[in-house]
Amino acid sequence: MALKALDIYKLLPKKNCKECGEPTCLTFAMKLASGKVKPEDCPYLDENVREILGASTRPPVQRVKLGVGERSFAVGDEIVQFRHEKTFFHEPGIMTAVSDLMDPDSIQAVVADVRDHLLVRIGLDLRLNGIAVWSASGSPDAFATAVEAVEAVAELPEVLMAEDPAVQEAGLAVCGNYRPLIHAATGDQYREMCALAVKHGCPLAIRAPDLDALAGLSGLCTAEGVSHLVLDLTSPSLHDMLNQATAVRQQAITRTAPALGYPVFLDTRPCGLPDAALICGVLKYGSVLVADPLSEASRKALLVLRQNIYTDPQKPIQITPGIYRVGSPGPDAPVLLTVNFSLTYFTLQGYLEASGTDSFMLIVDTEGLSVLTSVAAGKLSETLVRDSLKEFAVPDLVKHRTLIIPGYAAPLSGKIEDETGWKVLVGPRDAADIAEFLEKEWT
C-alpha cells in the first residue's frame, strides 16, 4: 500500500534542516506522499528507508515509453482507479495494424494516413499514435520487409507483433533503434524475448493465460533484466477484457500485486466487437490499443472520447492570454475581451468569424475559469483588464478606446471604465448573439 504523509514522516530524520528545499520534514513528507518530491532529495535517509519510501511512493502503474522523437509517447504513471479521484495522466496510444501479408505500397498508404491524420479540437492536436506490424506469415523476411516499408514512410512508434523470436529479431534488426514495443513474451519463449528487449533497449509486452500466470511471467521477465513491461489482456470476449483490465488496475493501484503494476495492451481485432473494445479500452484502462484501420467517423469519435477522458477535470483547458486577431483587423476594429477558458475562446472566435467582422480578441488570464465563475471568484477584475490592455499593447493597435466585455461581466463595467479610462460596451451573454450585437452597437 502507498504510505500516507504521516507514515512517511515517522521514517524521516526530523532534522528540519531545509536541505531538501522544504521548510520542515513534515512538508517534505506531505510532498513525497503526493509525488512532488523524491526520497533522494533528503540526503539523510539511510538506504533501507530510501528503498521503503521509493517503493511506496513510486507510481503504482509503471511508466513505459514507446518510440523515439516527436511522435513518441509514454503510457502508465497512473495513480488512481477512477478519473474523478484525481485524473488520468497518459492517454492510450492508438496503433493501426498492418500485416506482413500486405504489399509494401498498401502498408505505406496506411502509414502515411496515420502520419498525416490530424483533428484539431479546442486548440489541441489530436492524432493516432503509431503502427502495429503483425507477422501473419510467420516468415522473418516478410516481417522485415513489412517493417522496412513502415520505416520508409515515417518514424512513428511501432509495435512489432511476432511471437517467434527469430521473426521478432528480423523486425528489430530493421527498427530496433526506434524503441518499438516487442509483442509478446510468453511462458515458452520469454528468455529469448527478454534477451532481445535488453539488446535493443525496447519495452516488452507479455502474455499469459490468466492473471496469476501473468504476474508470474512479469516476475520472470524483470529477473531477466526487463523492467519496462506491458501486460497483454487481449481476449475475444469484451466482458473478459474489461474484467481483467479492471482487476489489473485495482491490484496495481492498491499495490496488492506489484507484478501487475504495468500499462495494459489490448488488441481489439480478435474481439467480437472491435469498436466497442476500443471504446472500453479508452475508458477502462487500455494503454496501447491495436486496431484495424478505422473509418473517419470512428477515429474522430475515438480521439474526442480519449481527449475528454484524459483531460484533467480539475484543470480547465486554457489558451495563452494575449491579443488574437479574427480576420484582418485595422485600427478601427472592435476589441472584445474574454477569458482564457478554451471553450469560451473558441466559441466566441467561431461566432466572430461567422459574423465576418474583423476584430481583436483580448484574452485575459483567469486561470481557465469561465466568465461567470471568474467574475464570481474575483479572478476577472478591473485591474486585470487594465494590466492586460497594457501588457498586450492594445492602445497601439486601435485608434478608439472602446472595449466590449462579455454580458456576464456587466457588474464590472463601471470599475473597468474607471480603472482603464476606456469606454465599456457590455456585450451579449451568449456568444451566438455577437453578430447582431456588433451590427447594432459597433459603428
Interface residues toward ligand SF4, by CB under 6 A: 12-13, 15-20, 22, 25, 28, 42, 44
Smallest distance, ligand SF4 to C-beta of residue 11, A: 10
3 state DSSP class of 291 = strand
Q: What single-letter DSSP state applies at residue 294?
A: P
- Grid cell 497594457 in the structure block, residue: 390
Count of beta carbons in the 10 Å neighbourhood of residue 394: 19
CA distance 36 to 28: 9
254 touches 248 (CB < 8 A): no
Helix, strand, coil shares, percent, the chain, to 5: 45, 15, 40
Pick between residue 20 and residue 217 the one whose CB is nearest to ligand SF4. Answer: 20
154 touches 128 (CB < 8 A): no
- Name the residue among 239, 297, 248, 308 with its Cα closest to residue 273: 239
Smallest distance, ligand SF4 to C-beta of residue 255, A: 23
Positive or negative: CA dihedral 366, 371, 377, 380: positive
Smallest distance, ligand SF4 to C-beta of residue 48, A: 15
Smallest distance, ligand SF4 to C-beta of residue 86, A: 24
Pick between residue 18 and residue 401 the one whose CB is nearest to ligand SF4. Answer: 18
Smallest distance, ligand SF4 to C-beta of residue 42, A: 3
CA distance 103 to 355: 50
Pick between residue 49 and residue 195 the one whose CB is nearest to ligand SF4. Answer: 49
CA distance 128 to 65: 16
- Name the residue among 235, 339, 246, 237 with its Cα closest to residue 285: 246
Pick between residue 42 and residue 409 the one whose CB is nearest to ligand SF4. Answer: 42
Smallest distance, ligand SF4 to C-beta of residue 23, A: 8
Pick between residue 50 and residue 255 the one whose CB is nearest to ligand SF4. Answer: 50
Q: What single-letter DSSP state applies at residue 431?
A: G
Pick between residue 31 and residue 115 the one whose CB is nearest to ligand SF4. Answer: 31
Pick between residue 22 and residue 365 the one whose CB is nearest to ligand SF4. Answer: 22
Pick between residue 39 and residue 427 the one whose CB is nearest to ligand SF4. Answer: 39
Q: Is 384 exposed, middle or buried (0-12, 13-18, 19+ CB in 10 A)?
A: buried
Smallest distance, ligand SF4 to C-beta of residue 355, A: 58
CA distance 296 to 316: 28
- Grid cell 519510501 in the structure block, residue: 53
Smallest distance, ligand SF4 to C-beta of residue 24, A: 6
